[in-house]
Amino acid sequence: MRSDLMKKGFERAPHRSLFKAMGYTDEELRRPLIGVVNAANEVIPGHIHLDKVAEAVKAGIRMAGGTPMEFPTIGVCDGIAMGHQGMKYSLGSRELIADSVEVMATAYPFDGLVLIPNCDKIVPGMIMAAARLDIPALVVSGGAMLAGQCGGRPVDLITVFEGMGRLKIGEIDEEELLALENSACPGAGSCSGMFTANSMNCLTEALGIALPGNGTIPAIDAARIRLAKDSGRQIMELVARGITFRQLLTREAFDNAIAVDMAFGGSTNTSLHLPAIAHEAGVAMPLTSFNAVSEKTPHLCNMSPGGPHHIEDLYRAGGVQGIMKVLADGGLLHTGCLTATGKTVAENLEAAAVSDPEVIRPLDNPYHRTGGLAVLQGNLAPDGAVVKQSAVAPEMLVHEGPARVFNAEEEAFEAIINRQIKPGEVIVIRYEGPRGGPGMREMLSPTSAIAGVGLDKEVALLTDGRFSGGTRGAAIGHISPEAAEGGLIGLVEEGDLIAIDIPNKTLTLKVAEETLARRRAAWQPLPPKITTGYMARYARQVTSASTGAVFK
Report the distance separating Cα 316 and Cα 268, nearest Å. 25
Q: What is the pLDDT of residue 162?
A: 87
What pLDDT does residue 448 have? 84
Which DSSP string corresponds to 479-492?
A: EES-GGGT-GGGG-
What are the two backbone dihedrals, phi and then psi, of residue 144, each rounded to the nearest 5 degrees?
-85, 150
- Active centre residues (catalytic): 468
Intra-chain end-to-end CA distance of the chain, in Å:
33
Give me the phi and psi of 368, to 5 degrees please: -140, 150
Total residues belonging to the chain: 552
Query: pLDDT tens digits, residue range 143-168?
Result: 999 999 999 999 999 999 889 888 88
What is the DSSP annotation of 352-421? ---S-TTTS--TTS-SBSS-SEEEEBSTT-TTEEEEEGGGS-GGGSEEEEEEEEESSHHHHHHHHHTT-P
Say whether 309 sits in a helix, a strand or coil: strand
Contacts of 161 (CB under 8 A, 6+ apart): 82, 444, 445, 448, 452, 470
Q: Which residues does 285 contact at the CB level (< 8 Å), separation at least 6?
A: 251, 254, 274, 275, 278, 279
Q: What residues does 155 pair with on adjacent strands?
A: 148
pLDDT averaged per 10 residues, the chain (length 552): 96 97 98 98 98 98 98 96 91 98 98 97 98 98 97 93 86 95 97 95 98 98 98 98 98 98 94 97 94 95 93 98 98 98 98 97 96 95 94 94 96 92 97 96 86 90 88 91 97 98 97 96 94 96 95 90
Q: Enter the pTM of the model.
A: 0.95
Identity of the residue numbered 174: E
For CA atoms 199, 201, 202, 207, the dihedral sign is positive
Whole-number average pLDDT of the chain? 96
Res 19: pLDDT: 98
The identity of residue 99, as a single letter, is: D
CB-CB contact of 146 with 186 (8 Å): yes
